[in-house]
Amino acid sequence: MAGEFNGNIRDMAFWRGAVAEFLGTMFVVFIVTSVWVSNPAMGMTGDLALATGFTYAAALYFAKGYSGGHLNPIVSLVAVVFQQIHVIQFAVYFLMQILGGIIGSAFVRAARDGQHQNQWLGAVRVFPNSTDGQAFLWEFMGTLFVLIVFVETSYGKAFRAGNIAPLAQGTAYYAATVATGRWTSASLNPARAFGPALVADRWDDHWLYWIAPIVAAVVVIILGAFVFNVAKPIGMGPKPATAQTDEEEGAPMRVVNPGK
C-alpha cells in the first residue's frame, strides 16, 4: 500500500506516515552528512552522489508504504497541491521532516565526540566557483529534475512505477547530486539543508536552499497540471475519487476519507 489521503489525526495510519517521514529524513541527513564529515573531499567526487542516491532509494522504499515516500518538504508541497495528501498531513509531514533533519545532524555532531567545533557538519553552502545566481540555477535545476521524476513515477497516468518508484527517485537524487554538488553542495531538500545549518550554526546562503526548490515546485505543478495532466491542483478540481492502483506492480494505493 502506498500513501493515503488522510486528515484524521486519530487514525494510527496517519501517525505511521508521520513517523516514517521523520525516520526516513533523519537517516538521509545522518548518512549523507556523515559522508561529508568523514571526508569533505568526497563532496567533490561521485562518492557523495552514490551515498545520496542509495540512501534516498533505501529510505524511500521504507517510507513509501506508510506516507507515500517524500522525505523532503518540497515533495510534500507538490503532493498536497496535487491533492494526494491532506493539508493536515502536509503540515505534520513538514514538521517531521524538519525535525528528522535536525536529529540526524545532531547524531552526526554527537558522533564527532567534541570534534565539531568550527566544522560544517555537512551543512550545505555555495562554493567560491559559483555566484549566487549560478548557484540558484544549479539548485533549481537539480530539484526540478527530482520533482519531475517523483511526480511521474508516483502519480503519472501514463507510467506508474509502483514498487520501483523509490529506485527511480533515488537515481534522480544521484544524478542531481553529481550535477550540482561541486557548486552548491547539492541540497535538493530544505530539510537536508536546515538540520545541519541549525546544528552547526552555518547559515551561509541558506535562503537559496528554500527559494530555489520552491520555484522548482511551482514549475513542476504547472507542468503536471497543464502539460502532463498528472493531477488537478487544489481549487481546480476534486481530489481523486479512487485510489491509484498499481496492481500489476503489487502496490495498490488506498484513499481514506478525511472525515472517517
Identify the CATH number of the domain in which residue 27 sits: 1.20.1080.10
What total number of domains does the chain contain?
1
A 10 A CB-CB count for 141 gives 15
257/8: higher pLDDT: 8
Residue 248: inside a domain: yes
Please tell me the distance from the alpha carbon of residue 231 to that of residue 143, in angstroms, as a whole number.
20
User: What's the pTM?
Assistant: 0.88
Instruction: State which residues form the domain around 234.
Output: 12-252
pLDDT in tens, 139-189: 999 999 999 999 999 988 766 656 889 999 999 999 999 999 989 999 999
By the 8 A CB rule, do 65 and 71 touch?
Answer: no
Cell output for 105: 545532524
Residue 54: inside a domain: yes
